[in-house]
Amino acid sequence: MEIKLTDRAAEWFESEMSLHSGDFVRFYVRYGGSSPIQQGFSLGVNKEEPMDPGIEMKKNGITYFVETRDVWYFDQYDLIVDYDEKQDEPIYDYK
C-alpha cells in the first residue's frame, strides 16, 4: 500500500490546513460515510503527529501518513489523492 499525492492536491492541503515543512497529515478510518472499498466506513484527514505510522510519504517537506491500526481499511489498495478543480477539494481514489 502506498500514498500517492498529486502536486495540486498537495497545494490544496498546504493552503487549507496551513501546512508548513515539518508538519504531518494523517489519513484515518472513520465509522460511517461511504467508501468504495470498505462498506460503513470512510476516510478522514487530520493534522497531527504520528504515533505508529504504518505507511507514509513526504511531499514538500510534509509527511502524509496512515497509522498502523488503520492500514486494514485500504485492503491492499494504494491511496491516490488528486484535486477536483470544480469542487475545490481533494478526490480520493483506491487502485
CATH number at residue 34: 2.60.300.12
Residue type, position 28, single letter? Y
Q: How far apart are the C-alpha atoms of 76 and 89, rounded to whole Å?
A: 25
Reported pTM: 0.94
Confidence (pLDDT) at 33: 86
Q: How far apart are the C-alpha atoms of 48 and 43, rounded to whole Å?
A: 15
Give backbone dihedrals phi and psi of 68, rounded to 5 degrees, phi first: -55, -40
Count of the separate structural domains present in the chain:
1
Confidence (pLDDT) at 75: 85
Any alpha helices (H) in 1-95, and if so which ranges? 7-16
DSSP bridge pairs for 66: 55
Confidence (pLDDT) at 4: 98
Domain range for 75 is 3-94
Confidence (pLDDT) at 5: 97
Q: How far apart are the C-alpha atoms of 87 and 60, rounded to whole Å?
A: 24
For residue 59, the number of C-alpha atoms closer than 13 Å in the C-beta half-sphere is: 18
Confidence (pLDDT) at 13: 98
Q: How far apart are the C-alpha atoms of 23 and 43, rounded to whole Å?
A: 20
**Average pLDDT by stretches of 10, the chain with 95 residues:** 97 98 97 88 96 97 98 94 96 95
